[in-house]
Structure formats: structure tokens, C-alpha cells
């Protein structure tokens, strides 16, 4: 991430910066990361995670605000978090590009609101939206718009109420992950596969903008359940075996590997389908779309033994498939070793992306 040379060498006192901590909330857990500006670049400050019991959040919607508030209050008490930027589930969001006549930036929101109901299945009064300008000329502006239901935000705001933690920004998860993973100077098209516990988010990025997202209801939990069923063991035992053996087909591991591959084959097929869709997509914005240059993998189980190889050989594509560097836009790592290990960092992509947003 490019920062002013002045602030790299003379960072303002932390109490004056009032930077927010990135807080990633999913159906099963929350993770947070604080970034601190130093002379060597940004470094990890406070970070941690908490499990969220089943039923508190379902499909990204807060079903039990009081239970989530209790968890947030515990985190506040232990880590003294104050301001946070919060992730929103991409499966509840709508993204689209819009071409507008050049009438000045002050008129953009009004123009988007008029076009909103033609693009998403929500009334303007039921929606909250934000936008980024992709490019503009003397006559035309192209904006990237993200929309979420107002009721979704209300559920999170209710949970944060009286928790002691103040949300200063909400952002769609795919946008946060993109900010963390895609190098600042890279404007090529890329795909991000965020392999989570209960679902996998697939994002296509071009020019630093999220152009397409899809959610597949398959995650690392599906692998754990496959092991439980195959070996008739507990969840904790299955988790241990999953991380010890991965999905490799070593001798004596063939039956288990087959069960795991069957559980995630739908994910590989969806990646292949979206890759093919993007490569053949019609050009828009009077410019030719670039083909996908690389597929980045992140998420807690993306580093399972054999996972990268399974996707690489099964997709039958020529682009590079590999684990993401979550720290690429925060520090060169030449003189700094993060307090979060590389393996664990793959689970913190969203939280780091949110924290980077607060440094801009």
C-alpha cells in the first residue's frame, strides 16, 4: 500500500489517528486486525478471533442481535476495541457497473438512486449503496456500485448498540479481500477464491475493482463432515485428521481422499464455470476485458495439503493458481516478521483488507 513518505518516517501519535480496526464477521466466527503505522511500514497490532455459536448469524443475517452483542462486549472488554470497520456478506450484496453522463460528482448519488430499482430487486427506500468511480471522461463516468438491504445493516447496528464498539464503516467482504490480496499496482484481471468454513466466495477483479462475485455453499466444514461420516468420529477428531492429511492421495489415504474430493468437486466445477464465463464475456465500457491472469486462494482451509494441486490439475487452465500473500499491500516484509503466521493469515484476509481501508 502506497503511503506518504512523511507519515512513514513521522507517523502521527496513535491517539490522533483514530484508525479503525478491521472486523470480519461470518456465520461461525469473528476476526479482527489492527494495523499500526511505523517507520518500517504498517505492522500488526491487536488481533484475535472468537467463535460465534450456530444460529446467531445465518447466511450473513443477524438472527440473534443480543447474542452477538454479548460476544462483541467480551471482545471489547479483553482487547479494548473502539472503532471498527465491519465486513458484510457478499451473498446479500448486489454489484453492478453503471454508465452515467458527466454532470459532476455531486450528482452521482442521485443518478444511481434513480437507476437502482432497475438493477436490483430492492426499492430505493430499502437499500443502502456506495460506489467507486472506475474511469471518467469529459462526457461520461463509469461507476462501480455496491448495494445491500437496509435491513441487513440494521441487524448489525442493533448488535453493536451498547457493546462499546463503534462501527465507522461497512464494506462488502469481497471488496475487503481484494484490497488485501491484489497488489496495489496490479490492474490485471484476477480471481480470488476465499475458502471459508461454511461457504466459498469467488470474486473476479479487474483494474482493482470487484466486477463479479459468487458464493458457493461449500467450505472447509464440508470436508470435516465428510471425514466424520467416513470414519465415524467426532468433529474435533475429523478436524485434526483433515489438517494432518489434507486431500492428498497418499498410500493408505485413498478412500479418505476420494471422500474429500467428492465433497469439494462442486467448488472446482464452479470455479471452472466462472473462469470460462469471464474469458468469453462481452466487452463493456468501450474497453476490452482482460483475461484472468491469476487465481488467488485464501481462507482457513485453503492451505490444506493437496488443495492447490487439486484445483490446478482439475481446472485445465493455463493461469497460475496459488495461495495469496495477505501482507502484500501493508509491508514488504524485508525487515518485519508479522505476528500472524502465514498459514493463519489466510483466514484474516477480510479483516486486513478492512484495516487497510482505514489507513487510506
pLDDT digits (tens, 9 = 90+) for 90-100: 889 999 999 99
pLDDT digits (tens, 9 = 90+) for 167-202: 999 999 999 999 999 999 999 999 999 999 999 999
Residue 154 C-alpha cell reads as 440494521
Helix extents (H) in 232-323: 235-245, 254-280, 307-315
Task: Note the pTM of the prediction, 2 decimals.
Answer: 0.89
Q: Judge whether 356 and 178 are in contact, CB under 8 Å.
A: no
pLDDT at residue 44, rounded to an integer:
96
Residue 148 C-alpha cell reads as 445491500
> Regarding beta strands 166-172 and 83-88, do their DSSP bridges make them parallel or antiparallel, or are they unpaired?
parallel
End-to-end CA distance of the chain: 9
pLDDT at residue 75, rounded to an integer:
97
Contact residues for 69 (Cβ-Cβ < 8 A; gap 6+):
158, 159, 160, 161, 162, 163
Q: Which helix (H) or strand (E) holds 158?
A: helix 150-160
Amino acid at each position: 500500500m502506497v503511503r506518504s513518505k512523511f507519515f512513514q518516517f513521522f507517523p502521527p501519535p496513535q491517539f490522533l489517528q483514530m484508525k479503525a480496526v478491521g472486523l470480519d464477521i461470518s456465520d461461525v466466527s469473528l476476526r479482527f486486525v489492527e494495523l499500526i503505522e511505523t517507520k518500517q511500514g504498517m505492522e500488526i497490532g491487536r488481533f484475535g478471533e472468537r467463535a460465534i455459536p450456530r444460529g446467531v448469524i445465518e447466511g450473513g443475517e443477524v438472527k440473534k442481535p443480543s447474542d452477538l452483542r454479548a460476544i462483541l462486549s467480551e471482545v471489547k472488554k479483553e482487547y479494548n476495541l473502539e472503532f471498527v470497520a465491519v465486513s458484510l456478506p457478499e451473498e446479500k450484496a448486489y454489484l453492478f457497473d453503471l454508465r452515467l453522463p458527466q454532470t459532476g460528482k455531486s450528482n452521482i448519488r442521485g443518478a444511481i438512486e434513480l437507476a437502482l430499482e432497475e438493477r436490483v430487486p430492492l426499492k430505493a427506500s430499502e437499500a443502502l449503496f456506495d460506489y467507486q468511480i472506475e474511469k471518467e471522461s469529459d462526457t461520461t463516468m463509469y461507476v462501480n456500485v455496491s448495494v445491500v438491504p437496509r435491513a441487513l445493516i440494521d441487524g448489525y447496528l442493533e448488535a453493536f448498540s451498547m457493546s462499546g464498539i463503534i462501527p465507522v464503516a461497512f464494506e462488502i467482504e469481497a471488496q475487503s479481500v481484494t484490497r488485501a490480496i491484489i497488489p496495489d499496482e496490479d490492474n490485471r484481471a484476477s480471481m480470488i477464491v476465499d475458502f471459508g468454513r461454511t461457504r466459498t466466495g469467488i470474486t473476479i477483479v479487474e483494474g482493482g475493482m470487484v466486477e463479479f462475485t459468487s458464493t458457493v455453499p461449500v467450505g472447509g466444514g464440508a470436508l470435516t463432515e465428510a471425514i466424520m461420516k467416513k470414519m465415524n468420529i467426532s468433529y474435533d477428531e475429523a478436524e485434526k485428521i483433515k489438517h494432518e492429511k489434507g486431500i492428498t492421495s497418499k498410500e493408505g489415504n485413498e478412500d479418505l481422499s476420494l471422500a474429500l474430493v467428492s465433497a469439494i468437486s462442486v467448488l472446482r466445477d464452479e470455479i471452472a464455470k466462472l473462469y470460462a464465463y469471464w474469458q468469453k464475456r462481452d466487452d463493456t465500457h468501450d474497453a476490452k476485458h482482460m483475461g484472468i491472469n491469476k487465481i488467488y486462494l485464501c481462507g482457513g482451509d485453503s492451505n490444506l495439503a493437496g488443495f492447490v494441486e487439486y484445483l490446478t490439475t482439475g481446472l485445465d487452465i493455463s493461469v497460475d493458481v496459488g495461495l495469496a500473500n495477505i501482507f502484500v499491500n501493508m509491508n514488504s516484509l524485508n525487515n518485519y516478521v508479522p505476528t500472524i503466521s502465514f498459514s493463519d493469515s489466510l483466514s484474516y484476509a477480510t479483516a486486513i483488507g478492512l484495516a487497510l481501508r482505514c489507513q487510506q
